[in-house]
Homo-oligomer: A and B are copies of this chain.
Amino acid sequence: MDNFNLLALQYQTELFGNILPFWLKHSQDREFGGYFTCLDRQGNVFDTDKFIWLQGRQVWLFSMLYNKVEKRQEWLDCAIQGAEFLKKYGHDGNFNWYFSLTREGKPLVEPYNIFSFTFAAMAFGQLSIATGNQEYADIAKRTFDNILSRRDNPKGKWNKAYPGTRPLKGFSLPMILSNLTLEIEHLLDKEIVEQTMDECIREVMEVFLRPELGGIIVENVNPNDTLSDSFNGRLVNPGHGIEAMWFIMDLGVRLNRPKLIEKATETTLKTLEYGWDKEFDGIFYFMDRKGSPLQELEWDQKLWWVHVEALISLLKGYQLTGSEESLQWFKKVHDYTWSHFKDPEYPEWWGYLNRRGEVLLDLKGGKWKGCFHVPRGLYQCWKVLEAINADKSKQLP
């Protein structure tokens, strides 16, 4: 057994022995349906609100495992009960997805957030594969149509930006669409798929990726694709940029575009070098491209998803291009991640560390951290490590 195999086993064991049991046991609301996500260190529920991002993501995660790993009834049941809750309470009747609900399913926050829609579409798309249920497929499809129709003003009437003064466009939506389009490709017309993939690749790699900034990605640009010297226009979210790069690598594989994969691998490395904290290690949450003070007070914190996504992008970069630099960085981020985010005493990982890597919030799940980045990342790394291991030409140095 060589090192890649050992590593694959480490990721697999953590997923099946630690993370999945935590969510299956603690998050399912057996009384009202859906999932609790506000879970303390031991898994106790500290708040019962239900956030649509996280409800959708958990449905997706268990459906995906059912589809790709094993037909475990427990996983399918978990996904279906969450989906039924979402179907019944999560939207306004026209698949405009609320942001959050009470435990019982009453709407708390209006459908202002487009990513409630994207994660609902992902959820019902995967679940439609797992179940063959046409109703789930229709929900995914209708939600995707709503996303496309809201693309130019995602917040709709809740948009507080005064029309016309500084109409920035954001990186998040094309980034998420790069992933979502592949996720629900089976439900979409071929033309829509190709057009959306092309647009997303162009936006991500040619608009938000900025050669004049050394090849990093900014969060917002002017409508004419120029840089904006404003708080939002200067914002860099290294984790976002890095996560997007494995979505782009997946598109590169799908479209057989090796140059695109090379570029995504290179961008992962540039962003990591840019976003790495040289004093305390770890990847910063937010940065300002001009080095000005940020409005985000949490800028120097170390977040779980940023590091987990970096592991995926680095491994895929190595797998697909053989980049030794990606492998070196993978080892560095792997060491930081496992030694700081994994809780040695209780299941699931920490989510929020301060700049020094000390635990900032004593939780395993909350308003934004659910059953998603950790298990998806462990799954992805496990599978990529297995594939690398199977390719005998690649061995750890």
Contact partner, A293, options B40, B290, B301, Cβ 8 Å? B40
Known contacts A293-B366, A295-B367, A297-B297; A165 and B361 CB within 8 A of each other: no
Find A352's partner among B102, B109, B297, B352 (CB 8 Å cutoff).
B297
Query: Shortest CB–CB separation between residue A32 and chain B, in angstroms?
Result: 15
Count, chain A residues at interface, CB 8 A: 43
Known: A49-B231, A165-B102. A362 touches B40 (CB 8 A): no
> Is the CB of A354 closer than 8 A to any CB of chain B?
yes
- Give A101-135 as 1s and 0s: 1 = Cβ < 8 Å from B's Cβ atoms: 01000111110100000000000000000000000
Report the separation of the CA atoms of residues A55 and B270 in the bound assembly, to the nearest whole angstrom. 40
Q: Which of A16-24, A153-161, A218-226, A388-396 contacts B (4 or more CB under 8 A)?
A: A153-161
State in angstroms the CA–CA spacing of A352 and B301 once bound together: 14
Oligomeric state, in number of copies? 2
Q: How far is the CA of A361 from the CA of B286 in the complex (A)?
A: 12
Point out which of A98, A160, A292 has the most chain B C-beta atoms below 10 A from its C-beta.
Answer: A160
Residues of B within 8 A of A355 (CB): 354
Instruction: Decide if A257 is an interface residue (CB 8 Å cutoff).
Output: no
A294 at the B interface (CB under 8 A): yes
CB-based contact B162/A98 at 8 Å: yes
Bound CA–CA A49/B233 (angstroms):
12
The answer on a CB contact under 8 Å between B162 and A107 is yes
Known A-B contacts A165-B106, A230-B49; the reply to A297 vs B298 at CB < 8 A is yes
Instruction: Kindly provide the distance from the CB of A19 to the nearest chain B CB, expressed in whole angstroms.
Output: 19
Asked if A109 and B293 make an inter-chain contact with CB atoms under 8 angstroms apart, the answer reads: no
Q: Given A166-B108, A297-B297, A360-B297, does the pair A47, B292 have CB atoms closer than 8 Å?
A: yes
User: Complex formed: what's the CA distance from A102 to B167 in Å?
Assistant: 13
Contact across chains for A108 and B162 when beta carbons are under 8 A apart? yes
Asked if residues A109 and B360 are in contact (CB atoms below 8 Å), the reply is: no
Q: CA–CA, A206 to B49, complex, Å?
A: 28
Q: Mark A92-104, 1 if CB is under 8 A from B, else 0.
A: 0000001100100
A363 at the interface (CB under 8 A from B): yes
A346 contacts the other chain (CB 8 A):
no
**Would you give the 0/1 interface string for A348-370, flagging 1 where the beta carbon is closer than 8 Å to chain B?**
00001011000011110011000
**What are 21 pairs between A and B in contact, CB < 8 Å?**
A38-B292, A40-B292, A40-B293, A46-B293, A47-B229, A47-B231, A102-B165, A106-B165, A107-B165, A108-B162, A109-B161, A109-B162, A110-B160, A110-B162, A158-B158, A158-B160, A293-B362, A293-B366, A295-B366, A297-B361, A354-B354
Other than A112-B160, A157-B157, give 14 A-B pairs with Cβ distance below 8 A. Answer: A38-B293, A40-B293, A46-B293, A47-B229, A47-B231, A49-B231, A108-B161, A108-B162, A109-B160, A110-B160, A110-B161, A295-B366, A297-B352, A300-B360
